[in-house]
Amino acid sequence: AKIAQQIGAAVQYLANQGVIHRDIKPANVLVTGGNYKLCDFGFALKLNRSDETIEGKFLIGSPIYMPP
């Protein structure tokens, strides 16, 4: 639960900044002193208003962790 809470807070912060991570998986979570941090923003996307409504435009990520 602690991991989910900290990663969820990071994802919420990113969303508030208009950033979509697009590759959240266990390998992209670092543990430092009991804290969990989201890393590897290689697939990250900074949204603008027009990007949010284009369906299917941003298909990217690690296939094993992507939804069907």
Q: Give tens-digit pLDDT for 7-50.
A: 999 989 988 988 888 788 888 899 999 899 888 877 777 877 55
Termini Cα distance of the chain: 25
d(CA 56, CA 59): 6
> Which pLDDT belongs to residue 12?
92
Q: Name, in order, each residue with C-beta under 8 angstroms of 24's C-beta and a sequence gap of 6 or more.
A: 7, 11, 38, 65
d(CA 4, CA 26): 11
User: pLDDT confidence of 53, banded at 50, 70, 90?
Assistant: very low
Triad 59, 60, 64: Cα angle to 5°:
110
User: pLDDT confidence of 61, banded at 50, 70, 90?
Assistant: low
Q: Is 23 a catalytic residue?
A: yes
> Which pLDDT belongs to residue 5?
92
User: pLDDT confidence of 64, banded at 50, 70, 90?
Assistant: confident
Q: Which two tokens mark 4?
A: 């989910």
The catalytically annotated residue of 23, 24, 28, 38 is 23
